[in-house]
Amino acid sequence: MACLADTAYADWPTVRHTEVVTLGCFTSRVHLVHLADNPETRLVIKYLSSDPEKGNIWKEMNILKTQQLHPSILPIDRLILDNDSNIVGMATKFVPGGSLNHNKDRTFKLKWLKQLTEALDFLHFDQGIVHGDLHMGNILIDEAADRLMLCDFSMAREATERDLMEEFCSVTWTLYELITLDFKAEDEQVQNSQRENGVYNLNTESIEKLASWPGVD
Ligand SMILES: Nc1ncnc2c1ncn2[C@@H]1O[C@H](COP(=O)(O)OP(=O)(O)OP(=O)(O)O)[C@@H](O)[C@H]1O
Ligand SMILES: [Mg+2]
């Protein structure tokens, strides 16, 4: 744990953990809250985790910062402190439209697809990083602003050619799911490649052969 004053984030906005009220949980460490003195302000807190599988929240803080980096990248709203001013988490503003997983029947607008590709171009070619965990759960829709927002940068990293290829595969599978509503095929592809080659390998080689793939007649 790090005390706010000893970090590079000393001037970032903060709130104490005792000053928020938990309303629900997205995952064990990602909670929907509101401010105790201002119930209108709803935030999503992501707490620090010692589990390396959960990715690195410090890296996520470094990448997201508190200013809006790009209109489709959800910035950090404030840091969460315990009573000794140690950083215990980070919060973003709650996006009520939720992720693409929360409303799978929602019509996905071409406008949002353009926003997704623009955000990825910005990340890849301007910032030189990959998101690293692109899937429907990490893509939010701010319906009021009519805007797609990327969240969860805990797996983001410097973009190598291989990472860029993997991200391209993730985008393709996400679009496949949005178009076909077939949510199992991506997992099956990864499991097949694990069984056949013994390694995790996300690819799109078989995607056009799937029955749900929109054919060109
Ligand atoms: N600001 C937000 N507004 C609305 N929903 C959010 C917001 N931030 C996160 N979520 C929801 O919470 C889920 C979990 O958050 P996130 O993806 O950042 O954590 P995670 O690292 O995947 O969590 P874990 O590793 O604990 O499973 C997201 O998939 C999304 O559905
Ligand atoms: Mg996530």
Per-residue pLDDT of the chain (217 residues; tens, 9 = 90+): 799 989 999 999 999 999 999 999 999 999 999 999 999 999 999 999 888 777 788 889 999 988 888 999 999 999 999 999 999 999 999 999 999 999 888 999 999 999 999 999 999 999 999 999 999 999 999 999 999 999 999 999 999 999 999 999 999 999 999 999 999 999 999 999 999 989 888 999 889 889 888 776 6
Task: Supply φ then ψ for residue 41, to 5 degrees.
Answer: -85, 105
Answer yes or no: do 15 and 68 share one domain: yes
| 202 shares its domain with 151 | yes
Question: Is 47's C-beta closer than 6 angstroms to any atom of ligand 1?
Answer: no
Residue 117: give the domain boundaries: 110-209
- Quote the ligand 2 centre to 155 CA distance (angstroms): 9
Q: Compute, in angstroms, the gap from residue 173 CA to the centroid of ligand 1.
A: 19
Q: Are residues 151 and 185 in the same domain?
A: yes
| 69-100 core/surface letters (b: 16 or more CB in 10 A; e: else) | bbebbbebbbbbbeeeebbbbbbbbbbebbbb
- Ligand 1 centroid to residue 147 C-alpha, Å: 17
- Ligand 1 atom nearest the C-alpha of 93 is 1
Which uninterrupted H or E stretch holds 29? none
Cα(46)–Cα(80) distance, integer angstroms: 9
Q: Is residue 146 part of a domain?
A: yes
Do 206 and 189 meet the contact criterion of CB atoms below 8 Å apart? Answer: yes
Q: Same structural domain for residues 125 and 153?
A: yes
Same domain as 87, residue 118: no
């890849």: which residue's tokens? 124
Q: Which of 35, 66, 93 delimits the end of a domain?
A: 93
Residue nearest to atom 17 of ligand 1 (CA): 152
The answer as to whether 99 is a domain residue is no
Task: Confirm whether 102 is domain-assigned.
Answer: no
Q: Is there a domain that residue 183 lies in?
A: yes
As for how many domains the chain has, the answer is: 2
The closest residue, in CA terms, to atom 12 on ligand 1 is 26
Residue finishing a domain among 58, 93, 128: 93
Tell whether 103 is covered by a domain: no
Identify whether residues 83 and 127 lie together within a single domain: no
Residue 22 phi, psi (nearest 5): -80, 130
pTM score of the predicted model:
0.93
Q: Is 46 in the pocket of ligand 1 (CB under 6 A)?
A: yes
Return the structure tokens found at 70: 């790009």
Helix or strand (DSSP H, E) at 121 = helix 110-121
Residue 98 counted as domain residue: no
CATH code, domain with 135: 1.10.510.10
Look at residue 101 and tell me if it is in a domain.
no
Nearest CA to ligand 1 atom 4: 95
